[in-house]
């Protein structure tokens, strides 16, 4: 009863976040002690509860959709918000899949016996309480919560205002199912207010919230990164490059370039800049299929000589994540110039080289300092599922803790266990 | 010539830090490409240069010591500041030792082949530019720089004003030796100003400095943690507990307790609170040797019944890191009460149980959520050298990236290398 909106109204956003965080931390301490099969079973019960609650979830979503139409949300936003039978089933399936992933908690990273006989072990443990701040996709409520619970973490969720009814219905089903499996209700909490000051309180709750994961557009991520005093796992941009080296196989290069840009243009791993080696012999055949597929191609002066349909690129094109059927193309003088362009403009997400020259590939992989560096593959593979992680909480381009696609292991830390037999230090 | 103090005087602290950070990052990109044997050789040349420069270093230190005496530094501070032949030799030996440590850069963390034939590898890479902010011990200049260079990172050092001449002499010798080995001079830079605003500029140089390691007292660490917008690797407190369980072997418990408190009282791994199980039969014999060794023992009411020389503890004693011959003692009702006390008061640094009951030990190791949890050993072992890491840049009590003693591995991150043969995503 104490979390009904009318009851919490007089509480400040900071006090609300502190109260929820303390409850989440207490629940996390219980969750951390649950054996892996118990967490797995509870997540399967949560998936079943989501399936049972499909009518309620769809009814709630219909309210959000109607409100969204009234508020004039764009068709793209409405599509992200929309649930149907298939999407609810897919959401439940995803929870089932996370339930079946190997539990990282308790895994031994390494062990050693010291000369004095002490045995040292590093063992993975949950991070603690994870704050998830997201936008219009209601499935994040279930996805993120499942990944947190599987890895022994509590989650404090703050979804977008446009999805508030959907998120509440999903959250209610989820915690009911988890409770059947013995997971305390406060292990997964949904912030009961859309007050933006509560987001600010989450971002500054150092010592209460252990990590924040923003899931959404660039303005959300930028705000979180700018204001957070809690560690943030995120990527701001995915300005991904593909460099077609002089020694690239033309058929392979054409297939990779078209796929990297056009398979899906709106994902963070899509190519935004194509670099073509000045001595690559088949540049026109890289560009023509893109244009035929409806891609706007912007180029520097040398690139525009490849195809007259290439329009001039502005200076800021090289630093722009289009997330659309738009591509910037530059002609570069060999590997060193490609490396220099990438060092200057990459967002350190995913960069790729296409070449049959093993030496050039090795240098590219060694010297490009991005979270993911690829040889002869499409940057669209930059995804936790494609990497075999089973899921992902996000993709990180920071340098500490975890980089690239982050799933269960990235939601753990470790502790040192020292097994002695009476050792004292001399 | 451009770094002479008179030249940089008109530069703002933020501009100075940005200029040095950009130079450090460029040098780091070169350093990251140096093979491990080249880095090892350069560090050995740096150690030799330190030995050769001993007269200059000691002359510089004499100036700092004279200034320190004039400024009325405490004897403890003057001792930390003081160098002699032996300490300079030890500093050079430490650099030699770091040179000989295994290089984590390039180590493969894991690898997998995907069903589509792509090979994924996670490989350790340097973090980038590390800021080290420290106080009076001039040996940190050499220690921290050596650890950074060994792991392919650049270092931007900011030492204490009381050690400014010593630090400049050590830094000059170090970079001269490193340069003989081909390490660019900007790989190890010493901030050429004692302006405190430059520390602030380092703390907020997100995107330029990748991690800050504060080395010093609690007020320095607290300031760094409060103001930093760059990730910080640190511990604020070492409020370490030892719990003597009912089933502890008395002789072992007495040896561990005395060592954990009195071997060295000023290190972060020294015990600050002793918890004694109410049914432990030999409590008086734990306390008497401490008092005999000159330790002031403060206790709750039940602890004071153990020995009349125990003085009353105040509420804040349970949250105090004495770093001195002072100990707080509480009597607790069994393992659960000990766990509850530790959960409330521990600084998550190092906590230990002494018991012959394997079940109690296992629960303690599992449920105490500290960076280091020990069974039947002295908390004074909480140290990178004692843990077999060869050295340490510091001990971390945060939850992300690295916990406990941090050495070379903690100064690396990883990247994903994807080896394809033309794969595109369907």
- A410 to chain B, minimum CA–CA distance in Å? 9
The total of structural domains in chain A comes to 2
Q: Provide the percentage of residues in chain B whose pLDDT is more than 90.
A: 93
Residue B309 sits at φ, ψ, to 5 deg, of -80, -5
Per the prediction, chain B carries an average pLDDT of 95
Same domain as A348, residue A244 = yes
Has residue B143 got a pLDDT over 50?
Answer: yes
Do the chains contact at A259 and B425, CB–CB below 8 Å?
yes
Same domain as B299, residue B173 = no
Predicted pLDDT at B4? 52
Same domain as A225, residue A322 = no
Q: How many CB atoms lie within 10 A of CB B66?
A: 11
From A269, which residue of chain B is nearest by alpha-carbon distance? B425
Opening angle at CA B417, ends B412 and B418, nearest 5: 165
User: pLDDT tens, B221-269?
Assistant: 999 999 999 999 998 889 999 999 999 999 999 999 999 999 999 999 9
| A22 CB within 8 Å of a chain B CB | no
Strand partners, B156: B131, B189
User: Residue B91: inside a domain, yes or no?
Assistant: yes
User: Which of B191, B193, B177, B124 lies closest to B153, judged by CA?
Assistant: B124
- B400 to chain A, minimum CA–CA distance in Å? 6
The position carrying tokens 């009076």 is B136
Residues 6+ apart with CB under 8 A from B223: none
Of A373, A400, A420, the CB nearest to B400: A400
- Segments forming the whole domain that contains residue A382: 240-386
Same domain as A264, residue A291 = yes
- B398 to chain A, minimum CA–CA distance in Å? 9
Same domain as A228, residue A245 = no
User: pLDDT tens, B37-85?
Assistant: 999 999 999 999 999 999 999 999 999 999 999 999 999 899 999 999 9
Q: A212, A425, A426: which to substitute to probe chain B, counting the most B Cβ within 10 Å?
A: A425
Residue A340 sits at φ, ψ, to 5 deg, of -65, -40
Predicted pLDDT at A328? 98
Do A301 and A271 meet the contact criterion of CB atoms below 8 Å apart? no
From A212, which residue of chain B is nearest by alpha-carbon distance? B400
Structure tokens at A421: 């037999």
Q: B206, B226, B420: which to substitute to probe chain A, counting the most A Cβ within 10 Å?
A: B420
CATH classification of the domain holding B137: 3.40.605.10
The DSSP letter of residue B102 is P
Residues of chain A contacting residue B425, judged by C-beta atoms under 8 Å apart: 259, 263, 378, 380-381, 386
- Asked whether the ipTM of the predicted complex exceeds the cut of 0.90, the reply is yes
Of A33, A259, A416, the CB nearest to B367: A33
Q: A364, A421, A424: which to substitute to probe chain B, counting the most B Cβ within 10 Å?
A: A424
- A204 to chain B, minimum CA–CA distance in Å? 11
Same domain as B371, residue B258 = yes
C-alpha span between B172 and B46 (Å, rounded) = 10
Opening angle at CA B375, ends B97 and B298, nearest 5: 100
Q: In what helix (H) or strand (E) does residue B59 lie, and over which residues does it extend? A: helix B54-70
User: Residue A397: inside a domain, yes or no?
Assistant: no
Of A371, A375, A417, the CB nearest to B415: A371
Structure tokens at B170: 């050590």
Same domain as B167, residue B26 = yes
Residues of chain B contacting residue A404, judged by C-beta atoms under 8 Å apart: 415-416
User: Residue A8: inside a domain, yes or no?
Assistant: no
Would you call A100 exposed, middle or buried from its count of C-beta atoms within 10 A (0-12, 13-18, 19+)?
exposed
- Note which residues in 370-389 of chain B have CB less than 8 A from chain A: 370-378, 380-381, 386-388
- B423 to chain A, minimum CA–CA distance in Å? 5
Q: Residue B9: which pLDDT band, with cuts at 50, 70 and 90?
A: low
User: Residue A148: inside a domain, yes or no?
Assistant: yes
Residue A389 sits at φ, ψ, to 5 deg, of -85, -10
Predicted pLDDT at B350? 98
Residues of chain A contacting residue B366, judged by C-beta atoms under 8 Å apart: 33
Residue B146 sits at φ, ψ, to 5 deg, of -65, -45
Do B328 and B317 meet the contact criterion of CB atoms below 8 Å apart? yes
Q: In what helix (H) or strand (E) does residue B418 lie, and over which residues does it extend? A: strand B412-423
Would you call B312 exposed, middle or buried from its count of C-beta atoms within 10 A (0-12, 13-18, 19+)?
exposed
Q: Look at residue B136 and give its three-state secondary structure.
A: coil
Has residue B1 got a pLDDT over 80?
Answer: no
Do A81 and A163 meet the contact criterion of CB atoms below 8 Å apart? yes
From A122, which residue of chain B is nearest by alpha-carbon distance? B372
User: Which of B297, B420, B68 lies closest to A242, judged by CA?
Assistant: B420
Q: How many CB atoms lie within 10 A of CB A113?
A: 11
C-alpha span between A296 and A279 (Å, rounded) = 24
C-alpha span between A333 and A277 (Å, rounded) = 6
User: Residue B401: inside a domain, yes or no?
Assistant: no
Do the chains contact at B374 and A259, CB–CB below 8 Å?
no
User: Residue B260: inside a domain, yes or no?
Assistant: yes
pLDDT top residue among A123 and B216: A123
Do the chains contact at B375 and A418, CB–CB below 8 Å?
yes
Of B376, B403, B415, the CB nearest to A422: B376
Q: Residue B390: which pLDDT band, with cuts at 50, 70 and 90?
A: confident
Establish, for the pair of chains A and B, how many residue pairs have beta carbons separated by less than 8 Å: 176
From B378, which residue of chain A is nearest by alpha-carbon distance? A424
Do B230 and B209 meet the contact criterion of CB atoms below 8 Å apart? yes
Do the chains contact at A378 and B415, CB–CB below 8 Å?
no
Q: B363, B424, B426: which to substitute to probe chain A, counting the most A Cβ within 10 Å?
A: B424
Do the chains contact at A415 and B118, CB–CB below 8 Å?
no
pLDDT < 70 stretches in chain A? 1-9
Same domain as A257, residue A213 = no
CATH classification of the domain holding A378: 3.40.309.10
C-alpha span between A57 and A54 (Å, rounded) = 5
* Kind of pairing between the strands at B372-377 and A412-423: parallel
C-alpha span between A384 and A156 (Å, rounded) = 22
User: pLDDT tens, A86-140?
Assistant: 999 999 999 999 999 999 999 999 999 999 999 999 999 999 999 999 998 999 9
Same domain as B226, residue B258 = no
Predicted pLDDT at B419? 98
The DSSP letter of residue A347 is -
Do the chains contact at B420 and A343, CB–CB below 8 Å?
no
- B368 to chain A, minimum CA–CA distance in Å? 10
Q: Look at residue B273 and give its three-state secondary structure.
A: strand
Do A313 and A299 meet the contact criterion of CB atoms below 8 Å apart? yes
Of B256, B372, B422, the CB nearest to A255: B422
Residues of chain A contacting residue B420, judged by C-beta atoms under 8 Å apart: 374-377
Q: How many CB atoms lie within 10 A of CB B98?
A: 26
C-alpha span between A194 and A380 (Å, rounded) = 34
SS3 per-residue string spanning B197-262 = HHHHHHHCCECCECEEEEECCHHHHHHHHHHCCCCECCCCCCCEEEEECCCCCHHHHHHHHHHHHH
| A400 CB within 8 Å of a chain B CB | yes
CA distances from B290 to A424, B251, B307, B329, B374 (A): 15, 14, 11, 11, 21
Residues of chain B contacting residue A102, judged by C-beta atoms under 8 Å apart: none
User: Which of B25, B231, B132 lies closest to A401, judged by CA?
Assistant: B231
Q: In what helix (H) or strand (E) does residue A78 lie, and over which residues does it extend? A: helix A75-81
Do the chains contact at A415 and B369, CB–CB below 8 Å?
yes
Predicted pLDDT at B10? 76
Same domain as B228, residue B343 = no
Of the candidate ranges B3-12, B135-144, B155-164, B184-193, the one whose mean pLDDT is the lowest = B3-12
The reported pTM is 0.94
Of B114, B373, B424, the CB nearest to A255: B424
Do B406 and B382 meet the contact criterion of CB atoms below 8 Å apart? no
Q: In what helix (H) or strand (E) does residue B178 lie, and over which residues does it extend? A: helix B164-180
Do the chains contact at B415 and A376, CB–CB below 8 Å?
no
User: Could you tell me the sign of the dihedral formed by the alpha carbons of B334, B337, B341, B346, in that order?
Assistant: positive
Do B275 and B343 meet the contact criterion of CB atoms below 8 Å apart? no
Has residue B34 got a pLDDT over 90?
Answer: yes
Same domain as A248, residue A229 = no
Do the chains contact at A263 and B425, CB–CB below 8 Å?
yes
Of B413, B416, B418, the CB nearest to A399: B413
C-alpha span between A394 and A236 (Å, rounded) = 11
- A231 to chain B, minimum CA–CA distance in Å? 8
User: Residue B354: inside a domain, yes or no?
Assistant: yes
C-alpha span between B378 and B63 (Å, rounded) = 40
Do B12 and B205 meet the contact criterion of CB atoms below 8 Å apart? no
Same domain as A251, residue A377 = yes
| A413 CB within 8 Å of a chain B CB | yes
The DSSP letter of residue B266 is T
Do the chains contact at B422 and A343, CB–CB below 8 Å?
no
Residues of chain A contacting residue B384, judged by C-beta atoms under 8 Å apart: none
| A247 CB within 8 Å of a chain B CB | no
Do B249 and A422 meet the contact criterion of CB atoms below 8 Å apart? yes
């Amino acid at each position: 009863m104490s979390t009904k909106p009318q009851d919490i109204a007089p509480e400040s956003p900071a006090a609300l976040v502190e109260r929820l965080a303390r409850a989440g931390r207490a629940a996390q301490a219980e969750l951390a002690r649950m054996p892996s099969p118990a967490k797995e079973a509870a997540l399967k019960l949560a998936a079943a509860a989501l399936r049972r609650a499909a009518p309620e979830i769809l009814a709630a979503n219909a309210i959000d959709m109607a409100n969204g139409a009234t508020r004039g949300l764009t068709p793209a936003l409405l599509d992200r918000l929309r649930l149907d039978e298939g999407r609810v089933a897919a959401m439940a399936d995803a929870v089932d899949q996370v339930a079946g992933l190997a539990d990282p908690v308790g895994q031994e990273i390494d062990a050693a016996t010291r000369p004095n006989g002490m045995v040292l072990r590093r063992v993975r443990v949950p991070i603690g309480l994870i704050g998830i701040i997201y936008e219009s996709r209601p499935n994040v409520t279930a996805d993120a919560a499942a990944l947190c619970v599987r890895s022994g973490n509590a989650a404090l969720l703050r979804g977008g205002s446009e999805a508030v009814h959907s998120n509440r219905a999903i959250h209610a089903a989820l915690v009911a199912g988890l409770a059947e499996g013995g997971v305390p209700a406060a292990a997964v909490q949904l912030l009961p207010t859309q007050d933006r000051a509560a987001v600010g309180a989450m971002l500054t709750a150092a010592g209460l919230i252990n990590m924040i994961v923003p899931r959404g557009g660039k303005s959300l991520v930028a705000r979180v990164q700018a204001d957070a005093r809690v560690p943030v796992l995120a990527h701001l941009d995915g300005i991904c490059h593909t460099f077609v080296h002089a020694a690239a196989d033309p058929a392979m290069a054409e297939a990779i370039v078209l796929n990297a840009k056009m398979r899906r243009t709106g994902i963070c791993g899509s190519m935004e800049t194509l670099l073509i080696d000045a001595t690559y012999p088949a540049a026109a055949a890289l560009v023509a299929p893109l244009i035929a597929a409806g891609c706007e191609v912007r180029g520097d002066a040398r690139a525009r000589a490849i195809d007259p349909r290439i329009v001039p690129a502005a200076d800021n094109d090289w630093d722009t994540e289009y997330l659309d059927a738009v591509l910037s193309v530059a002609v570069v003088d060999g590997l060193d110039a490609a490396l220099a362009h990438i060092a200057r403009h990459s967002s350190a997400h995913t960069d790729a080289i296409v070449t049959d020259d093993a030496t050039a590939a090795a240098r590219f992989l060694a010297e490009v300092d991005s979270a993911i560096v690829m040889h002869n593959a499409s940057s669209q593979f930059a995804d936790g599922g494609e990497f075999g992680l089973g899921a992902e909480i996000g993709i990180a381009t920071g340098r500490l803790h975890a980089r690239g696609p982050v799933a269960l292991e990235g939601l753990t830390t470790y502790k040192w266990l020292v097994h002695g037999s009476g050792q004292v230090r001399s």
